[in-house]
Structure 1
């Protein structure tokens, strides 16, 4: 049985990165011979098998042909006559089209090693345009590899633009979009994800609520970067820095200022009540992409509350208590630290402010811990019935007041 290690494991090893999952291609075999060798079939759309001992995935070398719009519109062909080079030719980027033989020999028919050295992400063939998911994958790879100096090949960007114009991106289903967006936001440089999508026109199709923020000015005394779209990029990158790999933090950071896209132009650069105006577009994005409920909830809480957290020192203790109640902190205590992180990302995601301290985050958590320490069993007078709730609120507000004085 002739097997080759392919894809990301080969690429990452060449980049000096610890590889993740390993994928294998098998040449010259059939589903019957694989089963006879003890491999267990798992692929629904094309022949993929699990190794009987390691559990790793082994796929038969295959070719594919486009027969319908969208990312599912493919017919796959796999038989013992399909060569390794034919299998590599159907892959997305040259850096992912390198195989390694059992003796360590690299098979690189599309010069992926040269593109790795040049730090260029380049499509393998015009067939790239047949799968709209590859637009999102390109953006995700840029979010991952931009810190290593990678850029997008101009001819690949041109091809991606043509895919958007042709309407291929319109056929992406919400679940697939969300899968790639979440991965992009969990990458080291989410700004590269947004920049790549915007450069090919896909951001306007997939996330018009963010695309419209580019070019909208903000008050320079608070936002030296001025451009709202640039601010969003900086906030997402700061979120990736403060909470590496946490897509929930990144998603809330991405959507926190959507209200600024609804500000009338005659009010620029001020954005009065944008924290409230942004709730409707946040909900629209979450519904369109079928975002998990906790992601949607934190995005809405952040949109509504981020200005309150920024001015926490000025808020009355009862206002702080009600903020905590609105985010359901007493039942979901993890949300306090999450909100503090996102708001810190917002404050430090500004030109010249990336190294600033953010005391409001620790203050929010201190106030919450003080309020959380108040127990109904310790309330004076042993209130009963509806009086318990009001007495508990009053005692928690007093605890918050004391915490704010520390």
Structure 2
């Protein structure tokens, strides 16, 4: 039985990047052997085991044979006779098909080190096209390593276009598409991810709404926004995803949320930015409009919504909003005004709400005065 470190840990180690997790392949073993050593089995179709101490993943070497459509229709052989080279051959890219033995030596049957040095993403074999998920994975790798100068090999780029044209992406679930989007967002490279998808005609298959608005200027704009977010150590998916939706209307955002299956918090923030960015982007907010915005945001019970909205718009501008400090202070002050204060003074029924609104409005008027030249002072809306 031999154990090899494989995949991303080897790739990122050679690139000098931080290794976040380690995966191993085990050659010449059976499930029973690993179970006897205390490993915990977590997979049945292709047995994956957790190490009894480190909890890292150890998978038996396997081969795969395509059966049917989609990215799940594979028959696996994980008998002890499967070799390391056979296991590596089923992987997607040459740079992901390098193994490291326990003595540190590298096994690289598909010249992955050469492609790492040349900064090229190249598929291993024609079997690449058996799995439509690889279209998204290549886009994600191209995005993640864009800063290192990686490009997609011409043959691989052509194969991706062919796979898209054959409708392979239609077999992916909306949830799986979002998972790949989320990984690209966490890498801080969502602009590159979308741009690669657009270059192989995949973006229109995944989200026609995003594809319609895609352009070189938008690509550059998103690059700048995500760069700012990285500098500020902002990594929340909902804050990052909504940057691609700032020019879209509520109907379109709702459609995207269905086709990509956005989590509720991601969808909701994109909608909130759409609804409130005009008033918050303004250099001189109208107090009445601002109070209406606070009410719709339910600032009184959900202050985190407002905080997220302000931060999302800061990313969009790559700087705090024109009235950032005043908005934050005013929001905190109006939140301190509550119905109990007026009930204690003897107000009843509808009079409580009226007095509450008037008191909150008075606070906002102290911070913001509407001028006739308001329209000339507006910060542009996206």
What TM-score comes out, normalization by structure 2 length? 0.90
Q: Are 2:299 and 2:335, in contact at CA under 8 Å, matched by a contact in 1? A: no
Residue range with higher mean Cα deviation, 120-129 or 361-370: 361-370
Q: 1:212 aligns to what SS in structure 2?
A: helix
Deviation for aligned residue 1:254: 1.3
Q: 1:102 aligns to what SS in structure 2?
A: coil
Deviation for aligned residue 1:200: 0.6
Matches within 5 A, 1:179-328: 179-214=179-214, 227-228=217-218, 230-232=220-222, 234-258=224-248, 278-311=249-282, 313-328=283-298
Aligned pair count reads 368
Q: C-alpha offsets along residues 234-286 of structure 1, whole Å, 9 cap, x if unaligned?
A: 4455445445322111111111212xxxxxxxxxxxxxxxxxxx100100111
Q: C-alpha offsets along residues 84-129 of structure 1, whole Å, 9 cap, x if unaligned?
A: 1111111111111111111111111111112222222222222111
What TM-score comes out, normalization by structure 1 length? 0.85
Q: Are 2:71 and 2:172, in contact at CA under 8 Å, matched by a contact in 1? A: yes
Runs of 4 or more above 6 Å deviation:
none
Supply the distance in 2 between the matched residues of 1:291 and 1:127 (Cα, whole angstroms).
31
Aligned twin of 1:89:
89
Q: Are 1:183 and 1:247, in contact at CA under 8 Å, matched by a contact in 2? A: no
Label 1:360 to 1:243 Cα distance change in 2 as closer, same or farther (>3 A): farther
Supply the distance in 2 between the matched residues of 1:330 and 1:112 (Cα, whole angstroms).
56
Supply the distance in 1 between the matched residues of 2:324 and 2:114 (Cα, whole angstroms).
46
Deviation for aligned residue 1:361: 3.5
Q: C-alpha offsets along residues 163-188 of structure 1, whole Å, 9 cap, x if unaligned?
A: 10011011110110011111112222
Q: 1:64 aligns to what SS in structure 2?
A: strand
Q: C-alpha offsets along residues 357-391 of structure 1, whole Å, 9 cap, x if unaligned?
A: 63244443232112112233334734233333332
Q: Are 2:27 and 2:80, in contact at CA under 8 Å, matched by a contact in 1? A: yes
Gaps of at least 5 residues in structure 2 are 370-382
Which residue among 384, 389, 395 is the counterpart of 2:359?
Answer: 395
Supply the distance in 1 between the matched residues of 2:362 and 2:43 (Cα, whole angstroms).
60
Question: In the alignment, does 2:306 pair up with 1:336?
Answer: yes
Deviation for aligned residue 1:33: 1.7
Supply the distance in 1 between the matched residues of 2:205 and 2:186 (Cα, whole angstroms).
21
Supply the distance in 1 between the matched residues of 2:169 and 2:227 (Cα, whole angstroms).
25
